[in-house]
Chains A and B, each alone.
Chain A
Amino acid sequence: DAKTTQPPSMDCAEGRAANLPCNHSTISGNEYVYWYRQIHSQGPQYIIHGLKNNETNEMASLIITEDRKSSTLILPHATLRDTAVYYCIVRVLSNSGYALNFGKGTSLLVTP
């Protein structure tokens, strides 16, 4: 799986958009970009994934650059409950179970 690079921490004011970057310059053509988040002392939670098109769901938007070497997770209106560690993971799809390679992620602090 391609390696990812994320800033260790970020701050965001409540109500503003939180833009979390991820670098994956060695990504290959069949690898997807996944985002998970982990609120303190809980299990990680799936947020969104994409291959090359931008994706949006009820939680967030995922913007992938045209060359696919980086992506940005956007939380459009951050709330205090969005304070968590956000993990960017790159991996291929598999027709069998496939473990996720979690790095240290980005610790997002949403402030009042």
Chain B
Amino acid sequence: DGGITQSPKYLFRKEGQNVTLSCEQNLNHDAMYWYRQDPGQGLRLIYYSQIVNDFQKGDIAEGYSVSREKKESFPLTVTSAQKNPTAFYLCASSVPGLAGFGAQYNEQFFGPGTRLTVL
């Protein structure tokens, strides 16, 4: 089955430690995204990547880093510089498409999320 996997589902870390969240997709999608969600809030964009070896900062990139060495993988590292890292992290992917070829190509598929708690 095609889809997006995120691991682990729950993650606990001590304050000051870096932690890497995994995101893998086998949908052959070019674009991948990381969002953060705090309780009762909408999603906020951290980083996104339109193609391998390329990525751009989103609205709240400070304290985070990413890499995109393979099409299937887009790991997110939460560094010790992130002041309030406890949150629900969501990864997504999509097929970039030309306008006119169908909006379905811009649909984003989301993983199940990782809930990070920093103690």
Q: Which of B27-79 contact A (CB under 8 A)?
A: 30-33, 35, 40-45, 48-50, 58
CB-based contact A100/B103 at 8 Å: no
Q: Between A and B, how many residue pairs show CB distances below 8 Å?
A: 77
| A44-B43, A44-B90, A103-B42 known; A95-B99 Cβ under 8 A | yes
Chain A residues with CB under 8 A of B45: 99-101
B43 proximity list for chain A (CB < 8 A): 44, 100, 102
Majority SS of interface residues in chain A? loop
Query: Once the chains bind, are B106 and A93 in contact (CB under 8 Å)?
Result: yes
Bin the interface of chain A by size: 20 to 34
Would you call B94 an interface residue if the criterion is a C-beta within 8 Å of the partner chain's C-beta atoms?
yes
B90 and chain A: residue at smallest CB distance: A43
- Interface residues in A8-67 by Cβ distance below 8 A to B read 30, 32, 34, 36, 41-46, 49, 51
Q: How far is the CA of A95 from the CA of B49 in the complex (A)?
A: 13
Report B84-113 CB contacts with A as 1/0, cut-off 8 Å: 000010101010111110011011111111
Binding site for A on B (CB under 8 A): 4, 30-33, 35, 40-45, 48-50, 58, 88, 90, 92, 94, 96-100, 103-104, 106-113, 115
